[in-house]
Structure 1
Amino acid sequence: MAAAFDPTIGRKTWRSLEAYHGAIYFAPEAAEAYAAVGVDDRMTGYFASRSAAMGAVTADVVIATFYNFNHDLIRRSMADVWNVVTPTDLVAARFRAADAMIRRLVDAADLDSAEMRRAATIARRAAEAACEQPHGRPLFAANAGLDWPDEPHMVLWHAQTLLREFRGDGHLAALVAADLDGCEALVTHGAAGDVPASILKASRQRTDDEWAAATESLQARGWLDADGAFTEAGRQARADIETTTDRMAAAPYAAIGDARCAELRDLVRPWSAAMASVFGR
Structure 2
Amino acid sequence: MNSARAAWRRLEPVHGMIYFVPEARRRYADLGLSRRAGYFASRSAAFGQASAELVTATFYNFHPELVRQAVDEAWDTATPQQVLDARYAAAGEALRRAGIHELPDLAEVLALVRRAAEAAREHTQGRPLFAAHAALAWPEEPVLQLWHAQTLLREFRGDGHVACLLSEGVGGLDALVLHAATGEVPVDFLKASRAWPEEEWADAEERLRKRGLLDGDSLSAEGATLRGHIEDRTNRLALPAYAALGDAGCERLAELATPFGHAVIETGLLKLG
TM-score range, shorter chain: over 0.9
Residue matched to 2:205? 215
Distance in 2 (alpha carbons) for counterparts of 1:46 and 1:58: 14
Distance in 1 (alpha carbons) for counterparts of 2:150 and 2:100: 19
Alignment of 1:237 onto 2:222: no
Residue pair 2:100, 2:106 contacting (<8 A) in 1 also:
no
Can you list the C-alpha shifts for 1:190-239, whole angstroms capped at 9, x where unaligned? 223332333222221222112111110101111112x2222221111111
Cα displacement (A) at 1:107: 5.5
Alignment of 1:8 onto 2:2: yes
Residue matched to 1:257? 246
Distance in 2 (alpha carbons) for counterparts of 1:81 and 1:166: 25
Distance in 2 (alpha carbons) for counterparts of 1:109 and 1:75: 41
Unmatched segments (≥5 aa) in structure 1: 1-6
Alignment RMSD (CA, Å):
1.4
2:172 pairs, out of 164, 182, 195, with 182
Which contiguous aligned blocks of 4+ residues in structure 1 show a shift greater than 3 angstroms?
Answer: none
Residue matched to 1:127? 117
Residue pair 2:37, 2:71 contacting (<8 A) in 1 also:
yes
Residue matched to 1:69? 62
Quick check: 203-212 or 115-124, which moved more?
203-212
Residue matched to 2:12? 18
Residue pair 2:38, 2:74 contacting (<8 A) in 1 also:
no
Shift in CA distance, 91/108, structure 1 to aligned 2, threshold 3 Å: closer
1:54 pairs, out of 47, 68, 77, with 47
% identical aligned pairs: 47
Normalised by the length of structure 1, the TM-score is: 0.92
Quick check: 166-175 or 70-79, which moved more?
70-79
Letter paired with 1:270: P
Unmatched segments (≥5 aa) in structure 2: none
Instruction: State the secondary structure of the residue aligned to 1:222.
Output: coil
Q: How many residues align?
A: 270
Letter paired with 1:214: A
Alignment of 1:142 onto 2:132: yes
Normalised by the length of structure 2, the TM-score is: 0.94
Letter paired with 1:38: G
Distance in 2 (alpha carbons) for counterparts of 1:97 and 1:179: 37
Distance in 1 (alpha carbons) for counterparts of 2:100 and 2:244: 30
Residue pair 2:3, 2:254 contacting (<8 A) in 1 also:
no
